Amino acid sequence: MARIRPALLLSLCGALFALPACDGGAGGDAKKDAKPAKAKTKAKSEAKSGPPEPARDALEGEPTDAILLSQAWFYKDSGGKSKPGPARLQIWRKVNGSWNATRLEDADSNVFHKAILLDDGSILTAAGEKAMLKKWKHNAGKWSSELLWENSWGGKFNRLRDIEIGDVDGDGKDEYVIATHDGGVVAVLDPAEDGGKPQVVELDAKKDTFVHEIEIGDIDGDGKLEFFATPSDRNKANTSQAGLIVMYKYDGTTYKRTTVDGGDHTHAKEILAADINGDGKSEFFSVLEAELSGKTIKKPVEVRQYIPKEDGTFGHQSVVKINDRQTRFLLAADFDGDGFKELIAAAMKTGLYLVDGEAAEDGTITWKEPVNFDKVSGGFEHAMLADDLDGDGKVELYVAADDQRDLKRYDWDAETNAFKRTDLGKLQELTFTWNIETGKL
Ligand SMILES: [Ca+2]
Ligand SMILES: [Ca+2]
Ligand SMILES: [Ca+2]
Ligand SMILES: [Ca+2]
């Protein structure tokens, strides 16, 4: 978890370290999982020798609405040092009208960066330290897993940072496109159909290079999917890093890379491909991190929309500038149901922003002034997702605000023309939520 520096941890968690918050309990489940008195001494000696045993909570009852939070979390060792616990998936499920959390943890890694619910009810997890892609199944109260892929690139870290699924080579079958740390690799993994070994193409290996994000979309509307990635320099505290935003297009033999944008002073850790105006072409966006000098923001976060040109290069227009250090989540969804997808940006400290726009006949989009609709919502990643999980035909927004420890839902209220917030539950202290997935589980 080198991305969470000790200094940052202190500022985020401060005195919380003094509390027995890192006991492995997830919210309200801590009590349920507490061991009887006899086990107390054992737990103490275990704490001295290593991390807590990974939790594997059973899922009770039939599949129901579920919110999966991919997390890293910290516990205190016997010397009082905070240490990363096993990679955690906190699984919130709606049972009899109320939301409750269970945990699935994996001691092989110390962070789940992302989880995807597959059609067959299994869960795909992309983990860091170690860089493992696993498939999890729950059956009759027991979890089992299959390691689909693991690799190491000989650098300081081995992480799978992001994964997206799509048919990027046009053969009618989906690939898994994966961003990795810290050897610069973008991997295209062709999953084996019968549990065999996947075929993996590793692109653009480069030492000390972190690829943060993958997006898939059809930017030119030819029915073939392009994918995008964000290779950048090594993560450093309180200073900006250079980086690129690149596009890959399959030419029948290989994935050809072109540069969409790049800079010496900053980079993007978030990108988005989404068909905003419903014309069959994906619009493509990046979120450039602020340019920093120590704690001072020299240049704010900027969301850019890229405009493809005839010659294959890209121009851009500025969508919104956000006076924050970073904004790691950007999504598009049509909350008000007018056929145009508005953008939501989740900044680290300054809250949630709604940016609506208007499309002209030629597809040109004019973006309106942002609305900072919840200022008291934040987190290092500030993960969010839009989905019609309750199936009423309207998309709702799900947000994990680690700073306030709130898991929330926002519904668009057509009468007030604003979001209405509902709190679903409390997140555990000393956890960092990297992604949200929703579905039936
Ligand atoms: Ca394919
Ligand atoms: Ca295309
Ligand atoms: Ca709309
Ligand atoms: Ca809904």
Which ligand is the nearest neighbour of the Cα of 334?
3
pLDDT digits (tens, 9 = 90+) for 325-360: 999 999 999 999 999 999 999 999 999 999 999 999
Query: What is the Å distance from ligand 2's center to 137 Cα?
Result: 34
- What is the CA(165)–ligand 1 centre distance, in A? 10
Dist. CA 328 → ligand 4 center (Å)? 24
State the distance from the centre of ligand 3 to the C-alpha of 357, rounded, in angstroms.
Answer: 8
Q: Say how many Å lie between the CA of residue 355 and the centre of ligand 3.
A: 10
Q: Which ligand is nearest to the CA of 389?
A: 4
Average pLDDT over residues 138-149: 96
Whether residue 436 has pLDDT greater than 70: yes
Contact (CB, 8 A) for 243 and 268: yes
* pLDDT at residue 334 in the model: 98
Which ligand is closest in space to the CA of residue 358?
3
Distance 334 CA to ligand 4 centre (A): 11
What integer pLDDT is reported at residue 264 of this predicted model?
Answer: 78
CA proximity to 211, closest of 264, 254, 161: 161
- 161-184 residue pLDDT tens: 999 999 999 999 999 999 999 999
Ligand nearest 226 Cα, by number?
Answer: 2
Residues 6+ apart with CB under 8 A from 126: 112, 113, 114, 115, 133, 160, 161, 162, 163, 178
Peptide bond into 182 cis (omega under 30): yes
Distance 270 CA to ligand 3 centre (A): 22
Please give the distance, rounded to the nearest whole angstrom, from the Cα atom of residue 379 to the centre of ligand 3.
26
Q: Yes or no: say if 432 and 112 are a contact pair by the CB < 8 Å rule.
A: no
Over residues 130-142, the mean pLDDT reads: 97
3-state secondary structure labels for all residues of the chain = CCCCCHHHHHHHHHHHHHCCCCCCCCCCHHHHHCCCHHHHHHHHHHHHHCCCCCCECCCCCCCCEEEEEEEEEEEECCCCCEEECCEEEEEEEEECCEEEEEEEEECCCCEEEEEEECCCCCEEEEEECCCEEEEEEEECCEEEEEEEEECCCCCCCCEEEEEEEECCCCCCCCEEEEEEECECCEEEEECCCCCCCCEEEEECCCCCEEEEEEEEECCCCCCCCEEEEEEEECCCCCECCCEEEEEEEECCCCEEEEEEEEECCCCEEEEEEECCCCCCCCEEEEEECCEEECCEEEECEEEEEEEECCCCCEEEEEEEEECCCCEEEEEEECCCCCCCCEEEEEECCCCEEEECEEECCCCCEEECCCEEEECCCCCCCCCEEEECCCCCCCCEEEEEECCCCEEEEEEEECCCCEEEEEEEEECCCCEEEEEEEEEEC
- Cβ atoms of 219 and 273 closer than 8 Å: yes
Q: Please, which residues have CB within 8 angstroms of residue 192's CB and are 6 or more apart in sequence?
A: 198, 199
| Predicted pLDDT of residue 236 | 78
Instruction: Looking at the CA of 65, name the nearest ligand.
Output: 4
The answer to whether the beta carbons of residues 149 and 202 sit under 8 Å apart is no
Q: Find the ligand nearest to 386 CA.
A: 4
Nearest to 3 by CA among 151, 228, 182, 152: 182
Kindly tell me if the per-residue pLDDT of 17 is higher than 80. Answer: no
Mean pLDDT over the full length of the chain? 89
Could you tell me which of 119, 157, 115, 106 has the C-alpha nearest to residue 383?
115
- What backbone torsions phi and psi does residue 30 show, to the nearest 5 degrees? -55, -45
Q: Which of 28-32, 196-200, 252-256, 326-330 has the lowest mean pLDDT?
A: 28-32
Cβ burial, residue 193 (10 Å; 0-12/13-18/19+): exposed
Does 207 sit behind a cis peptide bond, omega within 30 degrees of 0 on the bond before it? no
CA of 20 to the centre of ligand 2 (A): 52
The number of the ligand nearest the C-alpha atom of 189 reads 1
Report how far residue 18's alpha carbon sits from residue 142's, in angstroms, rounded to the nearest whole number.
34
Beta partners for residue 325, in sequence order: none
Query: Ligand 1 centre and the CA of 1: distance in Å?
Result: 32
Measured in Å, residue 117 CA sits from the centre of ligand 2 at 26
pLDDT of 193:
80
Which has the closest alpha carbon to 158: 203, 202, 110? Answer: 110
Q: How many angstroms is it from 396 CA to the middle of ligand 3? A: 12
* 421 alpha carbon, distance to own chain's centre: 21
In the prediction, which pLDDT does 26 show?
Answer: 29
For the sheet with 301-308, list strands across it. Answer: 268-274, 283-288, 301-308, 314-322
Instruction: Give me the pLDDT at residue 237, please.
Output: 74
Q: What is the distance in A from the centroid of ligand 4 to the CA of 72?
A: 29
Q: How far is CA 113 from the centre of its chain?
A: 6
CA dihedral of 23, 26, 27, 29, whole degrees rounded to 10: -90
CA-closest candidate to residue 356, choices 339, 378, 374, 376 = 339
Rounded to the nearest angstrom, the distance between the alpha carbon of 419 and the centre of ligand 4 is 13
**pLDDT score of 423 more than 50:** yes
pLDDT, tens digit, for every residue of 204-261?
999 999 999 999 999 999 999 999 999 999 877 777 889 999 999 999 999 999 999 9
Worst-scoring range by mean pLDDT, 38-52, 95-109, 205-219?
A: 38-52
Q: Ligand 4 centre and the CA of 396: distance in Å?
A: 5
Tell me, in angstroms, the distance from the centre of ligand 4 to residue 154's CA: 45
* pLDDT at position 11: 35
Find all residues with CB under 8 Å of 32, minimum gap 6, and list them. none
pLDDT, residue 48, reads 52
393 Cα to the center of ligand 2, angstroms? 29
CA of 252 to the centre of ligand 2 (A): 13
Band of the pLDDT at 50, cuts 50, 70, 90? confident
pLDDT average, residue stretch 23-27: 28
| Ligand 4 center from residue 66 Cα (angstroms) | 13
Centroid of ligand 2 to alpha carbon of 222 (angstroms) = 5
C-alpha to C-alpha distances, 38 to 42, 63, 158, 198, nearest whole angstrom: 8, 35, 38, 46
Task: Indicate the pTM of the whole model.
Answer: 0.89
pLDDT tens track for 367-387:
999 999 999 999 999 999 999
- Nearest ligand, measured from the Cα of 282: 2
pLDDT band at 16 (very low <50, low <70, confident <90, very high): very low
Taking the CA of 224 as reference, the closest ligand is 2
Residues with Cβ–ion distance below 5 A, ligand 3: 334, 336, 338, 340, 342
Q: How far is the CA of 435 from the centre of ligand 3 (A)?
A: 24
